[in-house]
Amino acid sequence: MRDEQAADAGHAGDAAHVADAEHLDRALRLERLTVAARVDAAARAGVVGHDPQDLHHALAFLDVLDLRTLTELERELDRPDSMVTRPPGTAPGLAAFLGRRYAASIPASRYHPSTSVPELAARLLDTLVFREIGLAHGTTMFGRAVARVKDALGLPPRDSLAATGFAEYGAPAVFLLLDVAASFATVQLTRTSAHITASMGYSGMDAYADALDACHFMTVPFARHLLRWRPAPDALVSTMRRGRLDGLGISPTDIDEDRLLTELAVLRVRLPELSAPYSSWHGPGAVRRRPRAGAGPEDEVRRAFVVAPADGDARTAGHAFQQRLTRRSWTVRARERRARLAVAAAAAAMALSSTPAWTTAQAVSLGQVFLAGLVGAVGVLAWAALLADREEDFFRTAATLSRSTVLQGRRDAALVSALRLLRPDDLARNRDGGLGRTVTVALEREGVVVLGRGWQPVARFHWLHVTRISAPTVPAPPAATSSEPHPAPSHGRTVHRVDFVIRRDGPDVAVSLPLERAKVAWTQRSFVETNPLKALVSGMESARYGWALSPAVAVPGRPDANERMRLLTGVDPVAGTRYEKEALDWEFGPRPRPPVRARRRQAVLGALVVAAIVWAVVAPVLALVAS
Residue 572 — very low, low, confident or very high, per pLDDT cuts 50/70/90?
confident
Burial class (CB in 10 A: 0-12, 13-18, 19+), 528: buried
Please, which residues have CB within 8 angstroms of residue 353's CB and are 6 or more apart in sequence? 368, 369, 372, 373, 616, 620
Q: What is the pLDDT of residue 379?
A: 80
Q: What's the CA gap between 298 and 568, in Å, rounded?
A: 29
Q: What is the pLDDT of residue 370?
A: 76
Q: What is the pLDDT of residue 159?
A: 94
Residue 333: pLDDT above 90? no
Taking the mean position of all CA atoms in its chain, how far away is CA 54? 38
Q: What is the pLDDT of residue 320?
A: 62
3-class DSSP assignment, residue 83: coil
CB 175 within 8 Å of CB 274 = yes
More confident residue, 531 or 275: 275
More confident residue, 233 or 372: 233
Residue 45 is inside which H or E element, if any? none
Residues in the chain: 627
3 state SS for 270-326: CHHHHHHHHHHHCCCCCCCCCCCCCCCHHHHHHHHEEEEECCCCCCCHHHHCEEEEE
Residue 4: pLDDT above 80? no
Question: Could you tell me the CA-to-CA distances from 23 to 9, 32, 40 in Å, in that order?
Answer: 21, 14, 25
Question: Could you tell me the CA-to-CA distances from 615 to 89, 368, 426, 618 in Å, in that order?
Answer: 75, 11, 46, 6
Q: What's the CA gap between 344 and 597, in Å, rounded?
A: 34
Residue 176: pLDDT above 50? yes
Q: Average pLDDT over the chain, rounded to whole?
A: 80
Question: Could you tell me the CA-to-CA distances from 586 to 481, 581, 591 in Å, in that order?
Answer: 51, 9, 9
Average pLDDT rounded to a whole number, residues 382-409: 83
More confident residue, 81 or 184: 184
Average pLDDT rounded to a whole number, residues 510-533: 85
Question: CATH assignment of 380-475+494-521, given 2.60.60, 1.10.287, 2.20.28, 2.30.29?
Answer: 2.30.29
CB 547 within 8 Å of CB 564 = yes
Residue 255 is inside which H or E element, if any? none
More confident residue, 551 or 187: 187
Q: Domain spans of the chain?
A: 106-196+208-288, 315-354, 380-475+494-521
CB 297 within 8 Å of CB 153 = no
Best-predicted range by mean pLDDT among 27-36, 198-207, 366-375, 562-571? Answer: 198-207
Percent of the chain with pLDDT over 90: 27
Average pLDDT rounded to a whole number, residues 39-66: 66
CB 306 within 8 Å of CB 344 = no
Q: What's the CA gap between 400 and 522, in Å, rounded?
A: 18
How many Cα neighbours within 13 Å face the side chain of 531? Answer: 12
Residue 500 is inside which H or E element, if any? strand 495-502
Q: What's the CA gap between 574 and 553, in Å, rounded?
A: 17
Average pLDDT rounded to a whole number, residues 191-209: 88
Average pLDDT rounded to a whole number, residues 568-578: 79
> In this predicted structure, which of 47-61, 243-257, 296-310, 432-446 has the lowest mean pLDDT?
47-61
Residue 89 — very low, low, confident or very high, per pLDDT cuts 50/70/90?
low
More confident residue, 302 or 130: 130
> In this predicted structure, which of 1-5, 196-200, 380-384, 503-507 has the lowest mean pLDDT?
1-5
Please, which residues have CB within 8 angstroms of residue 346's CB and are 6 or more apart in sequence? 373, 374, 376, 377
Residue 212: pLDDT above 80? yes
Q: Dihedral angle at the C-alpha atoms of 480, 484, 487, 492, nearest 10 degrees? A: -50
118-158 pLDDT, tens digit per residue, is 999 999 999 999 999 999 999 899 999 999 999 999 999 99
Q: What is the pLDDT of residue 152?
A: 93
> In this predicted structure, which of 3-7, 510-514, 600-604 has the lowest mean pLDDT?
3-7
Residue 480 — very low, low, confident or very high, per pLDDT cuts 50/70/90?
very low
Q: What is the pLDDT of residue 430?
A: 64
Residue 362: pLDDT above 70? no
Q: What DSSP character marks residue 430?
A: S
More confident residue, 288 or 169: 169
Using DSSP bridges, classify how beta strands 305-309 and 322-327 pair: parallel, antiparallel or unpaired. antiparallel
Q: What is the pLDDT of residue 187?
A: 96
Using DSSP bridges, classify how beta strands 466-470 and 473-474 pair: parallel, antiparallel or unpaired. unpaired
Q: What is the pLDDT of residue 119?
A: 93
Burial class (CB in 10 A: 0-12, 13-18, 19+), 455: middle
Best-predicted range by mean pLDDT among 9-18, 379-388, 390-399, 570-579? Answer: 390-399
Residue 94: pLDDT above 60? yes
Q: What is the pLDDT of residue 290?
A: 86
More confident residue, 619 or 167: 167
More confident residue, 211 or 431: 211
Instruction: Name the maximum alpha-carbon separation found in the chain.
Output: 105
Residue 561 — very low, low, confident or very high, per pLDDT cuts 50/70/90?
confident
Question: Could you tell me the CA-to-CA distances from 178 to 224, 226, 279 in Å, in that order?
Answer: 13, 11, 17
> In this predicted structure, which of 141-145, 290-294, 597-601 has the lowest mean pLDDT?
597-601
Q: What is the pLDDT of residue 216?
A: 93
CB 107 within 8 Å of CB 156 = no
Q: What's the CA gap between 354 and 365, in Å, rounded?
A: 8
Q: What's the CA gap between 510 and 415, in Å, rounded?
A: 9
Q: What is the pLDDT of residue 486?
A: 33
Task: Kindly report whether the peptide bond that precedes residue 252 is cis, defined as omega within 30 degrees of 0.
Answer: yes
Residue 484 — very low, low, confident or very high, per pLDDT cuts 50/70/90?
very low
